[in-house]
Amino acid sequence: MTKSTLYAALLASVVLGALGGIAHAEDGVDGLVTQTGKGNFGLVNQHEEDGSKALIGQSGKGNAAVTEQTGGTNNTAGTVQVGNNNGAMTYQIDSADATATIGQFGNGNDAVAVQNNVDPTSSTILQFGNGNNAYNTQLDVNNSNAATLQVGNGNTALNTQQYNTLGGNNLNAAIGQFGNGNFGNNVQENSEDGNAAILQVGNGNGATNLQTYTSGANAFVGQFGNRNGAFNSQTASSNVNTTIVQRGNRNGAVTIQTDTTDSNALIGQDGNRNWASNYQADSQDVDAAILQKGDANFAFNSQTDTDPSVAGILQNGNGNFAFNVQNNVTDSTALIGQFGNGNVAGNIQQADSSNDIAGILQVGNRNTAFNTQGETQTVTYQLTPTVDWTTEETLQGGKLWDSEDQGPFTIGALFGPVMVTGSGSAPAENSIAVIGQFGDRNTAANVQVGQLILPAEGTATQTTTAYWASSTGSYLNPFKPDLEWQQESASTTNEWEVTNPLGEVNLPTIASAAGIVQVGDDNAAFNFQTVTAGSLAATVQVGDGNFGLNTQTYTAGTVAANVQVGDGNAAVNTQQFAAFSAAGIVQIGDDNAAVTTQVASLGDRALTIQNGSNNFASTAQIASAGNSSLIVQNADYSVALVGQTDGGNNAAVLQSGAYSNAWISQSGSASNAAIVQYGSGSSDADRNYATVVQQNGGHNAAIFQAGSSNVAAVFQN
């Protein structure tokens, strides 16, 4: 230990001991300045009240310290500076039982503590290093504390507590920075019962906690690494908590809570170049959490006008994207978990939805999954028809002595239709959408939305066109050109706001569920449900290069399911204007294709089972009720087609072997048809062909084929 260092330590010990002795003085105003070194400046100014104590101790060169206490009682101010060119100021006025402590050890440090009309408060600043700056400002608050600890060089810390119309009670702000070039800022304004803390270990980090018009708010930022950025904003909120913890380099995190009650937000990031954001507004009892491990991840949670809801994102890998957006939803939960690289997952629950759950789990690389339940739609509708107040007129032109008919000309006004454009909710109520993917390059989408019919408010537009005829020349004067009439018109468009007296009118998706499970590579699956009630859509794919699609529109009590085990299969189920109908496709094998379409159906059932390769099956049941279709292909290179209308029909196709074709068409009622084929061919030239066509109703037909190159046809009318 050098002589100067030993002396500085002894000075600090003596000064702190003196401060303690002053603090225990019985009465009177006590002030002490102790300086060693060269070019130091110290000032103590105490005014009016008894019981205040002030201490300045400086060792080094070019240090400056100013302490001023005015109108206070039992105030304590202590400043210790060891080093060169340090600056410190303590300012306490109209206060009682206020304590301000500044300790600086190094060179070129600056510290400012301001307490104005506060009782009681505590302010502490400790800086070890060079070129650090610290500011504690407390105005019109009491029972509040501000503390700053900086170890390193070039750090800046600001604690601000002021202008508190709520009373400004029980506010605590703390900043701890260890490293170089860090920036920390805590702002508490018009708030009470709040805590804000920042801990940064590393270099070039920046963090801000902002609390405005809050009660019972807590904000914490912990950053470990270099060049990280974090921002917590709490405005007009109560009983809210937000935490950001980041380890690594160049990470960014933002949490915003506005007009929110009883809510929590958490961001945890471990890695580099990650970005995460939590946004909560106009909400109550909402929770949002983002946990990311890896590099270059992006996650976003947005909860607006919700009560309550939960949103969570967990990512472990590189280059992931995750989005949770919840707007106008109740009792909703959105969960995303991704393990791998290049994944993209999005949950959106919005537009007046309720009791929704959307979950995505992806394990693999370059997966894409998206759940949408409810949406905001924009519609345009006609409010009034076109009103035509025009007539067709023929006018006299030329000269009086040589007149001619000109025209006809349109005279009058044409009032176009009043068109209204507005936006509103297309909700999905009591809906569940789940996606699980295991593999690489998978794509899955669940979309459950309603249909906006009439918005509650909109903008009306109407175009009005005036028609008239103008003239040139003269009808009587022989020295002027002949009278000529020309058609004229002018249009104007007016806009105004309108309110629908019925309020918003929409058709929601109610009590529906959609689920997708994919295990393998290069799979794609889509479930779309629009204006459905009690409908289920499910897709399960195990293998590579499979494609599955379920579409249900204006359905009630319907089920659509695809199960694919193999490679290169494609399955599509479409149900529109259907009730209590079911469509299922099961594919085991490779390169099979199956399509099921049920439109305007009631109680129809369709099942396709494919076990083999290169098979194709299609079922279409349109404007029908109570029809059943079964296609079983335990074969290769076979084709089966079933089309049924009306009601009460049953169709079955059973194929085994290879190279068989079957067609069944039933357009009547209460008919039954069956085709059984065993193909033994080895090429298209060896195909079996079977056809059944039944019209009207009450017919029965059966075809059995075994071998190759067979042809069978049944026609009944």
**692 and 598 part of one domain:** yes
531 residue type, one letter: V
pLDDT of residue 544: 79
Structural domain contains residue 90:
yes
Does residue 221 lie within any of the structural domains?
no
Rounded mean pLDDT, 20-40: 65
Rounded average pLDDT over 334-363: 82
DSSP for residue 481: P
Identify whether residues 578 and 492 lie together within a single domain.
no
Residue 60 falls inside a structural domain: yes
Cis peptide preceding 120, ω within 30 of 0: yes
Question: Tens of pLDDT along 52-103?
Answer: 888 888 899 999 989 888 876 888 889 898 999 999 888 888 877 888 899 9
Q: Which helix (H) or strand (E) segment is 3 a member of?
A: helix 3-23
Give the whole-number percent of the chain exceeding pLDDT 70.
Answer: 94
Q: Which amino acid is at 185?
A: N
Q: Is the per-residue pLDDT at 610 higher than 70? A: yes
Lowest mean pLDDT among 115-129, 410-424, 671-685, 703-717: 115-129
In a domain, 562, yes or no: no
Question: Taking the model in full, what pTM does it have?
Answer: 0.74
User: Is the domain of 495 the same as that of 575?
Assistant: no
Q: Are residues 463 and 602 in the same domain?
A: no
Query: Looking at the predicted structure, is the pLDDT value of residue 9 above 80?
Result: no
Predicted pLDDT of residue 164: 54
Number of folded domains that form the chain: 3
Cross-strand bridge partners of residue 473 = none
pLDDT at 77: 86
As given in the structure block, the two tokens for residue 284 are 């109550």
Same domain, 394 and 488: yes
Are residues 576 and 711 located together in one domain of the fold? Answer: yes
Of 45, 78, 95, which residue is a domain's last? 95
Boundary of a domain, candidates 62, 95, 128: 95
DSSP, collapsed to helix, strand or coil, labels residue 9 as helix
Task: Compute how many other C-beta atoms are within 10 angstroms of the C-beta atom of residue 391.
Answer: 11
DSSP summary character for residue 502: T
Does the pLDDT at position 21 exceed 50?
no
Q: Which of 129, 126, 130, 181 is nearest to 159 (CA)?
A: 126
Is 502 or 629 the better-scoring residue by pLDDT?
629
Phi, psi for 681 (deg, rounded to 5): -80, 170
Where is 660: in which H helix or E strand?
A: strand 660-666
Confidence of residue 541 (pLDDT cuts 50, 70, 90): confident
Lowest mean pLDDT: which of 27-36, 302-311, 312-321, 371-380?
Answer: 27-36
Residue 449 pairs in a beta bridge with 530
Decide if 266 is inside a domain: no
User: Is the same domain home to 604 and 687?
Assistant: yes
The one-character DSSP state at 237 is -
Give me the mean pLDDT over the 678-690 stretch: 92
CA distance 151 to 105: 9
Task: Tell me how far CA of residue 278 lies from CA of 218, 221, 291, 348, 468, in angstroms.
Answer: 15, 14, 12, 14, 62
**pLDDT band per the 50, 70, 90 thresholds, residue 165:** low
Q: Which pLDDT band holds residue 301 (cuts at 50, 70, 90)?
A: confident
Instruction: Please tell me the chain's helix, strand, coil percentages from 3-state DSSP, rounded to the nearest 5.
Output: 5, 75, 20
Mean pLDDT across the chain, nearest whole number? 87
Residue 439 lies in a domain: no
Q: How confident is the model at residue 353 (pLDDT cuts 50, 70, 90)?
A: low
Q: Indicate if 581 and 707 belong to the same structural domain.
A: yes
Which of 95, 129, 155 delimits the end of a domain?
A: 95
- The answer to the question of residue 398 being in a domain is yes
Q: Which amino acid, one-letter code, is at 150?
A: Q
Confidence of residue 12 (pLDDT cuts 50, 70, 90): very low
Dist CA 258 CA 286 (whole Å): 12
Distance CA 654, CA 704 (A): 10
Rounded Cα gap, residues 76 and 422, in angstroms: 64
Answer whether residue 315 is part of any domain.
Answer: no
When pLDDT is averaged across residues 620-630 and rounded to a whole number, the result is 93
DSSP assignments along 58-101, one per residue: EEEES-EEEEEEES-BS-EEEEEEEEES-EEEEEEES-BSEEEE
Tell me the pLDDT tens digit for each residue of 636-673: 999 999 999 999 999 999 999 999 999 999 988 999 99
In this structure, are 709 and 580 located in the same domain? Answer: yes
Q: Are residues 493 and 585 in the same domain?
A: no
Domain range for 602: 569-716
Closest residue by Cα to residue 567 from 609, 607, 519: 519
Confidence bin at 709 (pLDDT 50/70/90): very high
- Rounded to whole angstroms, the Cα distance separating 615 from 588 reads 11
Query: 705 and 591 share a domain?
Result: yes
Residues 360, 337: Cα–Cα separation, whole Å: 6
